[in-house]
Amino acid sequence: MKIAFIGLGIMGKPMAINLLKAGHELRVFDFNKAAVEEVKAAGAVACESSVATVEGVDAVITMLPNSPHVKSVMLENDKVAEHMPKTATFIDCSSISPIASREIAAELEKLGIDMLDAPVSGGQPKAVDGTLAFMVGGKQEVFDKFKDVLAAMGSSVVLCGNVGAGNVTKLCNQTIVAVNIAVLAEALQMGQMCGVEPQKIFEAIKGGLAGSTVMNAKAPMMMDQNFQPGFRIDLHIKDLNNVVDAAKAVDAPIPLTQSVLEMMKILHKDGDGVCDHSALLKYYQKLTGEVLHH
């Protein structure tokens, strides 16, 4: 297919490259010229604006930071929706508010354009190796048409319901991940302070009920004090703020999520917002004055 791809950040760039590897034609745009040049070298056509990407395409894919950015590109400032072919479909892979997804879809519907909200989970490593998990909202027939496109970037592509359902599911994912990382840090820190090596704790419990993908990915990073971002704390704060908004709209209780959000906000104020979310460990290290080790 011929695809416009807007947003070549830490996730978008490898996703775009995997689409090229799968044989799709890409027209790309990002303000980061170095990222554009890298994707161009992989076979994409570099464009001077977001509007220029959509000429003759079958789909427009965005991978942008948050709701205002998607609205700006599609409806407000760039107004990409007014320039894309009416036969094309808008696929938003950004993690944004489901309320915003539904608002964007309603505006696109007036133009006769279908939309899928298709946020992802897996972070940069899975974006690079093409094994992301896609949580999708939209019409069944539109999903069926573009499932293989998403599968070129991920190992799991699931239709969760109508537009907005993808981002509701992603918010559930982000809540589970955040609380999981926080309690992992809490447990390893406590275990070490009680005299047991964190590596032994990890090895002993990772195969049992407490084991998880989060534990396998983040425990080694914590023990190595490696907080290079696969997914930054600041981005997780953005997602959890969207969780708060979505929960408030339906009066859903989220005390655990609220607690972890406050921890992340403290780390942001300490200058750790650019760190990987495994840096939730730093919250405990600052409380105890003890650094986790192998």
145 catalytically annotated: no
* Cα(60)–Cα(4) distance, integer angstroms: 5
* Cα(93)–Cα(13) distance, integer angstroms: 12
CB 53 within 8 A of CB 47: yes
* Cα(63)–Cα(65) distance, integer angstroms: 7
At 253, phi and psi to the nearest 5? Answer: -75, 135
Give the ranges where 47-164 is alpha helix by DSSP (H): 67-71, 80-83, 98-110, 123-129, 140-151
Catalytic annotation, pick one of 13, 126, 170, 282: 170
76: left (phi over 0), alpha (psi -120 to 50) or beta: alpha
CA distances from 150 to 100, 128, 134, 211 (A): 21, 14, 7, 28
* Cα(120)–Cα(153) distance, integer angstroms: 10
The Cβ-side half-sphere exposure at 279, using a 13 Å CA radius, reads: 25
Catalytic residues: 170
